[in-house]
Structures are given as structure tokens and as C-alpha cells.
Amino acid sequence: MACRLPTNSFLSASSFVHVSPSSHSLPIASSPTKTLSTASFYRRRPNITRAVLQWNRKPQLAGETPRVVVITSGKGGVGKTTTTANIGLSLARLGFSVVAIDADVGLRNLDLLLGLENRVNYTAVEVINGDCRLDQALVRDKRWPSFELLCISKPRSKLPLSFGSKAITWLVDALRSRTAGHPDFVLIDCPAGIDAGFITAIAPADEAVLVTTPDITALRDADRVTGLLECDGIRDIKMIVNRVRTDLIRGEDMMSVLDVQEMLGLPLLGVIPEDAEVIKSTNRGFPLVLNKPPALAGLAFEQAAWRLVEQDSMTAVMVEEEPKKRGFFSFFGG
Amino acid sequence: MSYIFNALSLFPTQSLSNGNGGREFKVGNVANLEVLWFSKCRLRWSFRKACGFRVKSADNSIDSTGREQVEGGVRVDFSTKALESDKMAGSLHWRINDPPSFVVLVKRNAGSKYAVGFYIALTIVLIVAKQILSKRKIQTRHGSVAELVKRGQLRSNRRGISKLDLKYEDPFNNPQVKIEKNNSKIEMCGKVYRLAPVTLTQEQQLTHLQRRSRAYQWKRPTIFLKEGDLVPPNVDPDTVRWIPANHPFATTATELDENLAQNNVFQKDGVPFRVRAEHEALQKKLEALQSAQNEIGINQNNIHEWERSAERSSKLNEQVEPSASLEKQNDEFSSTGNKNLPDKLDKL
Ligand SMILES: Nc1ncnc2c1ncn2[C@@H]1O[C@H](COP(=O)(O)OP(=O)(O)O)[C@@H](O)[C@H]1O
Ligand SMILES: [Mg+2]
């Protein structure tokens, strides 16, 4: 079962072990594979860690489809929406069909990040009211037609209170059974906080991606949210550490990714560097992962998407930055 | 070799330093490549630091294929394809036939005839060498398996010949990322990173899980109620989430029946529920009007008109409405017919 394939890594080396396809795997159930991975890791020395970019094969989809993944954080502004947009489009680029649900009711902005804001006419609220069908409310991205966006509500119309989180569960179930075939991934962009919006967003999810930044405030919220997710039975939780600055970590001015992991005890799905291109791509409404050549953060998102597909996690991170050796031929680096 | 470097660095410093410091100096592509290839850092340094000139590739068309670009600098990759070689040869001819700026610059350079001599000799040598090289490359390419791939007879990605021909768009072809052979280091955007192993063990993960399960005890509420509302009789108060009255969720109360809402979500085809309901209401109104008119007995023409308009609106509702809304969202259908839709239906 534990087939060791060449590993993918950008900000990491990651050796992956295929976990049996059960989306609601208990930690105990998944433990044999995990321990195997760590054990074999210690057998190899860190410097033999494989870190080959995997781009000459398609990632293998693990788990039952549709994989319903909620992207959450607790704290606001740490990059949930950015992550949803970029991982979503990466998945689409890798050949999977994706529906991204913007469950941020009050502060909808996934459509902006994707540059689809002018095409959202119908939202889930209209679907529930019977003004349109679900397929009419899905906005298809023209760049990657396998990517569709569903907004929960327009800024002024509100999700009906009385159904609680049932409404979003219906929506996901309807996607599961739709005639056009169910999507491979349903990504839910969760609003900040842990109130009604959060409760709604996590309701249909089987797995979660926890986005955090390496600072103590975000981490405390992240821990709390993880606790709530675990209470809700979502046990497949992986984290993405966003806005990492290796220069600050080297100067011990910022917690390293491994520090973050020590505090939360969650497997790593990805490490995203702080990158000015993120903001530029937000402005353009053109997700980073579509950049050519890809930006640093875009590559990191792409790798995270890759791991998400294979239910893999990172086994090594980039923690140190060394001044580049200046040889006779290395005059370009500056 | 170092005197060549000196000669080369003489060229920009002496001949061009008078007066046009900020100008961008564009060199023909091949010449640029060759000069960089042979002169290494010294030339680059002198271009940049001494006189503020920038060497820039005049023709970017080769960028995307064969060679790697490193922070604005250019490195020649000799595994370029035949096509590129042709291009290079083409620009070489241009280089020979039309070197006006070059000649002018050389003429203006009164200071060092030796330097000029060296430079001219070197250029000729470079051109010849380049042509020989590119010819050799073309010859080796003739009849190779690569041509079968080019002709569509072979699938290159199966044979592992060309890594550039991937089935899906290659997401990781980033010239800014380089990985050392033993994978211990990664270079990205000019910086070198070392890899450190993740040490999280399964036991640690479990400890955290237990810690959290002690710290946070929570049951996801399934029902939202506005603060101050009464708990409905069949609802477990533990599953209620109380929403403050000023919360966006709390401002919406629906008269919509739950089953109906669910059916709406699961509706796969046909006219959406509300649209149909409204249409039926309209239809009834029209019929009522029609019968009223019949009773009064106005002339036949009028009645025909009513009938036609009723028919038209019903047809439009049944056929156009679904696609019309699809079109708005997905821009997939050309806009036909929906312009005739009654305004009311549009505003639903
Ligand atoms: N890796 C990054 N580097 C630089 N800026 C980032 C990065 N990730 C997110 N940002 C910026 O942070 C802001 C908040 O991101 P967003 O995804 O909207 O957060 P959230 O959805 O969690 O509230 C955005 O302006 C975004 O451009
Ligand atoms: Mg957001």
C-alpha cells in the first residue's frame, strides 16, 4: 500500500504515502501510514531528502470524490480567499473539475480575486428562492472551464436564517448528484470568525485546510478553529502557512514554519512565501498560479494543490537562506 | 583570455561614455549572447557599473524555449533546437549586414586601435564559430527521432525525449527555480534554500488532538435563531445558534417553506420555481382579463391580440428563460429572443 513514488516539492520535499481512500479517516486509522512515513524519513538523512519538482506527471487523485474541502482560518486577512482561488485554479489546471463556493456572506471577495465579479448574477440565495436553478448560479471560468464559482449571496441579499447550515449542505449534495457529473473538488471559502458564517461553511465539509500566518494571534485562532473542526468530526485537517518570510525567520524575527507546526501539531499542506505578486494578482483579478513564469507564491500554491490531490503532506520545509556562492560563472545573481 | 576581457570592457567605457549615459544599448541577439558567453562577469560589470549601460537582448523570441534567464542576465543553452539555430543564423546575417551603430561607435573610438582590432577580430571569430556550431547542430538533428515527434508520428512525452511537450500545461517550468542534483538545496529567484525535515510525529499529532479536545468542547449548532425568538417546540436548545439582531443573517426571515427551498436547490432542469409561479400568476391574470373582455364583447381583433401576447409570453417563459439566465451567468449562449421577454420576468 505504501508505494513510494517520486516526490513533489517546491518549498518542501515531500514523500508521500497513499492513505486509503477514506475521507473521514480517524487519526488512529491513518496512523500506520503516517508513522511509516516518518520512520522511513529518519532512515534517510535530511540531505538526501528528495526535492524534485513534479511536473511531468499528473497527480493521482486520492480519496472519494467529490472531495469537499473547507478553507478556514479563524483570523481574517490571513489568505483564505487567496488560497481558495489559487488552489482552485491549480486543481482545474491539473485537470480536475472544481466548484469553489464563496461562503463569506458579508464580505464576499472570491469573485474579485478570480476576476469574475461582473459575471455573478445569481447566487445560492436565488437558487434557494427558486429564482434560478443551481446550474445557472454557477459561474464558469473561461480560462479554465472546469472551474466554477458559486457565491452564497449578493452583498445586500442575505442567506435565509431559518435553514441554518442546512442550505449549504443541500447545495453540496445537489452538486454531488448533478446531471453534468459531480465535481472532483468542492472548495469552500470560509468567512473569518467562528459564528454563523463559519458554522455554515464547515457543515458540508469532509476535510479542512487551515490557513495561518506565522504570528501568535493567527495561531491562537487557528488552534481554536482546529479544535472546533475536530469537535465537528472533521479529522483530516492540514495547514498552509502563508506569508512566510525566510529572511525574517533567519534573523529569528519570525516564527519558522516548524515552530508553527510545533504549536498546532498539524501536517503541512503548503508553505506560501510573502510575495508582492499576490497583491498584484489580486488587483488584476488573475490568480497567481496563472502567471507566466510562475511567481514564487504561485509555485507554492501549485505544490499545495498537488499535495491536496494526493492527500499528501510536506516532509521537509525550506528554512534557511544562504548567501549564494559567487563563482566565476555566477555573475548574474547580483 | 583576460586581455580579451579588457579589450571588451574598453569598448563600452571608452567609446560610449561621452554624453549618453542613460541610453539603453541594444545589441543584436547573437552578438549579445556570444559576448556574454565569452566575457563573463567582467563585461557585464563594466557595462553596468562603469557606464550605466544595460545589455539587453534585442530579440526576446528565443527566451521561452532553449535557454535559461537568470535575473535579467542571459545564459546560453547549447541544446537549442534547429528552429532556434535558424533564428540565430538569421540574426547573425543581420549582424553582419547591418552593423551601423557598431561601426560608428568603433570609428568614434579614437583612443585604442588595438582594442578595435581585437574587437573586430573577435567578432569575426565568434560569428564563424557560431555558424559552425549551429550547422553542426542542424546536421545532428536531421533524421533523428525528434523529427518523428515533430511530424506527429511519435508521442514525445512517452519516450521522455522532450520534457516540454506535456499533455497538460506545464505548471512548473520556471526558469527562476533550480534544484541541485542531490536535492539538498533549492535555488529560487537568486536565493539558495536548504531543506529541513518536518519532525512532527504521529504521537505529537495525537497529543495535540487530545489537548484540543480537552480545551474546546463544541457541538455545531444546526439551527440559527434570532436573539429573543422563542425556541420552536421540536428543537433541541443545544443545537441553536443565537444570532444577534444586528447580524446580517438575522435581518433575513424567510416565509419560504423548507421543503420547497430544498426542492429548489435540487431542481435539475425546467423553469425555476419562482419564475414559473410568477408566470402562472400572470397567465391567470391574462385569462381573467380575456374572459372579462369576452363578456363585454369587444371586437375580435382585440381578442386576437390578447391571445397572441399570452401565447408569446408563455412560450418565452418556457423556452427562453432558462437559457437566458444561463447566458447572463456564463456568456455561453448568443443573445437571442430574451430581449422580447416581458420586463417583469427579467426583474424577477
Ligand atoms: N503570500 C502572500 N503574500 C503577500 N500578500 C498576501 C499573501 N497572502 C495574502 N496576501 C494579502 O493578504 C490580504 C488578505 O488576503 P485574503 O485572501 O483576502 O484573506 P482572507 O480571505 O483570509 O480574509 C490580501 O490583500 C492579499 O493580497
Ligand atoms: Mg476572504
Testing ligand 1's pocket by substitution, the residue of A73, A82, A275 carrying the most ligand atoms inside 8 A of its CB is: A82
pLDDT (mean) for B35-57: 40
Q: Do A127 and B45 touch (CB under 8 A)?
A: no
Q: What is the pLDDT of residue A234?
A: 93
| Contacts with B187 from chain A: Cβ below 8 Å | 324
CA of B329 to the centre of ligand 1 (A): 27
Residues with CB under 5 A from ligand 2 (ion): A 80-81
Highest mean pLDDT out of A51-65, A228-242, B160-174, B268-282: A228-242
> 146-185 in A: which are within 8 Å (CB) of B?
157-167, 170-171, 173-174, 177-179
All cell numbers assigned to B264: 429548489
In this structure, of A82-96, B51-65, B245-259, the range with the lowest mean pLDDT score is B51-65
Q: By mean pLDDT, which of A161-170, B12-21, B298-307 is the weakest?
A: B12-21
What pLDDT, on a 0 to 100 scale, did the predictor assign at position B104? Answer: 53
pLDDT at A214: 92
Compute how many other C-beta atoms are within 10 angstroms of the C-beta atom of residue B239.
13
**Which has more confidence, B61 or A322?**
A322
Query: Taking a C-beta distance cutoff of 8 angstroms, is the pair A110, A201 a contact?
Result: no
The ligand whose atoms approach the alpha carbon of A102 most closely is 2
Of B47, B38, B35, B49, the C-alpha closest to B9 is: B47
Ligand 1 pocket test target in A187, A240, A278, A302 with most atoms within 8 Å of CB: A278
| Ligand 1 cavity residues, CB under 6 Å | A 73, 76-82, 192, 242-243, 272, 274-275, 278-279, 282, 297
Residues of B in Cβ contact (< 8 Å) with A202: 220
Q: What is the pLDDT of residue B195?
A: 79
- Ranking A104-108, A257-261, B69-73, B237-241 by mean pLDDT, the lowest is B69-73
Q: If you average pLDDT over residues B21-48, what whole number do you get?
A: 38
- Cα separation, A294 vs A298, in Å, equals 6
Q: Which residues contact B219 (CB under 8 A, 6 or more apart)?
A: A231, B238, B239
φ, ψ dihedrals at A63, nearest 5°: 85, 175
Q: Which residue has the higher pLDDT, B61 or A73?
A: A73
User: Of A14-23, A76-85, B160-169, which one has max mean pLDDT?
Assistant: A76-85
Asked if B322 and A53 come within 8 Å (Cβ–Cβ), the reply is: no
Instruction: Name the more confident of A58 and A176.
Output: A176
The residues facing A273 across adjacent strands are A244
How many residues are given for chain A? 334
pLDDT at B93: 53
User: Which residues sit opposite A160 in a β-bridge?
Assistant: none
Backbone φ and ψ of B295, nearest 5°? -60, -45
Find the DSSP H helices in chain B.
2-15, 29-45, 82-97, 100-108, 113-141, 145-150, 156-159, 202-215, 258-266, 273-296, 300-315, 321-330, 343-347
With beta carbons less than 8 A apart as the criterion, state whether A6 and A50 touch: yes
The mean per-residue pLDDT over the stretch B296-318 comes to 62
CA distance A273 to A250: 14
Residue of chain B whose alpha carbon sits nearest to that of A94: B168
List, for residues A282-331, the tens digit of each pLDDT value: 888 888 888 777 788 988 898 899 899 999 888 888 766 666 555 544 44
Q: Is the pLDDT of residue A142 over 60?
A: yes
Residues whose CB is less than 8 angstroms from the CB of residue A76 and which lie 6 or more positions away in sequence, other chains included: A192, A193
> Whose C-alpha lies nearest to ligand 1, atom 27?
A279
The pLDDT value recorded for residue B61 is 40
pLDDT band at B88 (very low <50, low <70, confident <90, very high): low
A119 vs B41: CB contact, 8 Å cut-off?
A: no
Q: Check pLDDT > 80 for residue B46.
A: no
**For position A330, what pLDDT does the model report?**
42
Indicate which atom in ligand 1 lies nearest the CA of residue A189.
21
Nearest alpha carbon to residue A137 among A179, A125, B269, A146: A125
pLDDT mean across residues, chain B: 62
Predicted TM-score (pTM) of the model is 0.64
**Average pLDDT value for residue range B245-271:** 78
Q: Is the pLDDT at B58 greater than 50, yes or no?
A: no
- Asked whether the predicted pLDDT for residue A157 surpasses 60, the reply is yes
- How far apart CA B294 and CA B288 sit, in angstroms, is 10
The verdict on a CB contact (< 8 Å) between B208 and A266 is yes
ipTM of the complex: 0.76
The answer to whether the CB of A309 falls within 8 A of the CB of B168 is: no
Interatomic CA distance for residues B74 and B36, integer angstroms = 8
B108, B291, B293, B301 from B297: Cα distances, Å: 104, 9, 6, 11
Strand-pair category, A207-212 with A236-244: parallel
Highest mean pLDDT among A54-68, A309-323, B268-282: B268-282
